[in-house]
């Protein structure tokens, strides 16, 4: 086994390689490498994981060994399943289907879903949705197989608990308690829709983004940050998403907040100790900054909206955020459905239908919405961010995002955070209470 700091560097390099491969997979699946971890054997093979786990048990005096175990486990899992991720991405975004309606030609499943979201005429939205349903089988098969393959890989690697690996909670049962709590508390927030496609269209927020720029740019996003927050940092920020509506601004701000938290670790501290593979702080910061679109003082100060317009727009944006949170809760609850059992698609579709407020047919299970291992941490971080919102407002007032103290407060929390932190029952209960107060205030 290599020395601790060299191990940390090797894990960081391998993690970057798989992250870049997944970014390519989302943007241009055919250009993605088939084996992105081929040059990172020392930290992505099962025998290395077994050796590291044994060393961590024997050498309690070296904190790097136990800290590195979940990172190497994640890399081993990724190595075992990346070919299946790639197959699912190709089925979704590359494979062509011959269609007759609403146009005759060849389309991918991804382009059909995109047409559902961007079409402005209800009849077109409905036509694309029905065509997508009729064309989704191969994509569903690939997505379903990926979920099964990940379960099987976990068994072969060491029969560990995927829920505990993927979610930063003290006990896996808390993850499902949180998901059910979200659905219960927000049951009256998202109105029923007459179809799943109309629910998708409503979640975009095509209206209600007055004052935002006509184009999403990294420069504009950076201008919204508290002064000094990124001084000395080089956050690995994704390209801003395509501008579809208010939800696009929330997503862009969330990506930026998460990237800052990922980059802001104390100098000299091994990354394995500072951040987890599915890190709670990164997800919490994504939730905190993404929620700025629903913060009336932010809309007044940064977008120069009137008090009444800011209040109304913030309320509408909060409902969009809660709709997205409900969908994350459904993704998590779908983890309880073993994809290897008969009827898994039907049960998964039922869970998603409850969250969306519209019937999702079983033939779209695992396709709408897409599911993955990051669902759990996104939900936990998103809910804990409701407590974070209240705390930072209590400390710095409503315009915390413009406070000269905000950067110091946030960066201190970033440097205090450790990968080993997991949300306990007190954290979960407190955050659900904060979520309730937000819902009651709508």
| pTM of the predicted structure, to 2 decimals | 0.96
| Token duo for residue 286 | 């994504």
Q: Helices 64-93 and 109-118: crossing angle, nearest 10°?
A: 80
Does residue 60 register a pLDDT over 80?
no
Higher pLDDT, 263 or 340: 263
Q: Which of 165, 139, 142, 187 is nearest to 335 (CA)?
A: 165
Residue 3 burial by CB count (10 A; 0-12/13-18/19+): exposed, middle or buried? exposed
CA dist 244 and 358 (Å) reads: 22
Residue 146 burial by CB count (10 A; 0-12/13-18/19+): exposed, middle or buried? buried
Does residue 429 register a pLDDT over 90?
yes
130-147: pLDDT as tens digits: 999 999 999 999 999 999
Cα dihedral 166, 171, 172, 178 in deg (nearest 10): -100
180-201: pLDDT as tens digits: 999 999 999 988 999 999 999 9
CA dist 127 and 92 (Å) reads: 19
User: What average pLDDT does the structure give for the chain?
Assistant: 95
Beta partners for 105?
Answer: 99
- The confidence score (pLDDT) of residue 158 equals 85
Does residue 239 register a pLDDT over 90?
no
Higher pLDDT, 246 or 328: 328
- The confidence score (pLDDT) of residue 1 equals 61
Angstrom distances, CA of residue 148 to CA of 141, 142, 201? 11, 10, 30
- The confidence score (pLDDT) of residue 61 equals 83
């Amino acid at each position: 086994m290599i020395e601790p700091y060299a191990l940390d560097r090797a894990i960081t390099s391998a993690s970057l390689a798989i992250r870049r491969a997944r970014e390519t997979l989302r943007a241009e699946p055919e250009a993605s490498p088939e084996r992105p971890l081929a040059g990172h054997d020392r930290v992505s093979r099962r025998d290395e994981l077994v050796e590291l786990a044994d060393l961590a048990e024997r050498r309690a005096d070296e904190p790097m060994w136990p800290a590195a175990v979940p990172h190497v486990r994640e890399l081993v899992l990724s190595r075992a399943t990346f070919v299946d991720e790639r197959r699912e991405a190709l089925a979704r975004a590359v494979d062509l289907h011959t269609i007759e309606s609403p146009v005759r030609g060849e389309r991918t499943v991804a382009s059909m879903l995109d047409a559902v979201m961007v079409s402005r005429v209800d009849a077109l939205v409905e036509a694309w949705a029905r065509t997508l349903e009729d064309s989704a089988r191969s994509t569903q098969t690939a997505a379903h197989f990926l979920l099964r393959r990940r379960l099987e890989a976990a068994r072969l690697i060491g029969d560990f608990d995927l829920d505990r690996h993927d979610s930063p909670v003290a006990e896996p049962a808390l993850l499902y308690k949180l998901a059910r709590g979200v659905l219960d508390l927000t049951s009256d927030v998202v109105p029923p829709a007459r179809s799943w496609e109309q629910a998708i269209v409503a979640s975009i927020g095509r209206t209600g983004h007055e004052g935002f720029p006509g184009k999403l740019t990294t420069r504009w996003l950076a201008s919204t940050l508290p002064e000094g927050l990124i001084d000395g940092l080089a956050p690995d920020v994704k390209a801003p998403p395509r501008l579809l509506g208010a939800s696009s601004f929330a997503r862009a701000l969330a990506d930026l907040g998460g990237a800052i938290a990922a980059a802001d670790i104390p100098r000299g501290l091994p990354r394995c100790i500072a951040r987890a593979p599915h890190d709670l702080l990164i997800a919490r910061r994504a939730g905190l900054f993404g929620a700025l679109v629903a913060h009336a003082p932010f809309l007044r100060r940064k977008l120069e909206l009137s008090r009444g317009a800011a209040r109304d727009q913030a309320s509408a944006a909060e409902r969009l955020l809660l709709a997205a949170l409900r969908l994350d809760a459904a993704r998590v609850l779908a983890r309880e459905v073993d994809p290897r059992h008969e009827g898994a698609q039907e049960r998964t579709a039922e869970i998603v239908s409850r969250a969306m407020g519209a019937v999702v047919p079983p033939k779209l299970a695992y396709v709408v919405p897409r599911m993955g291992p990051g669902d759990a941490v996104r939900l936990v971080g998103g809910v804990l961010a409701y407590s974070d919102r209240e705390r930072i407002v209590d400390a710095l007032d409503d315009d915390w995002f413009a406070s000269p103290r905000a950067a110091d407060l946030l960066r201190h929390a970033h440097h205090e955070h450790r990968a080993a932190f997991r949300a306990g029952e007190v954290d979960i209960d407190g955050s659900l209470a904060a979520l309730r107060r937000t819902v009651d205030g709508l």
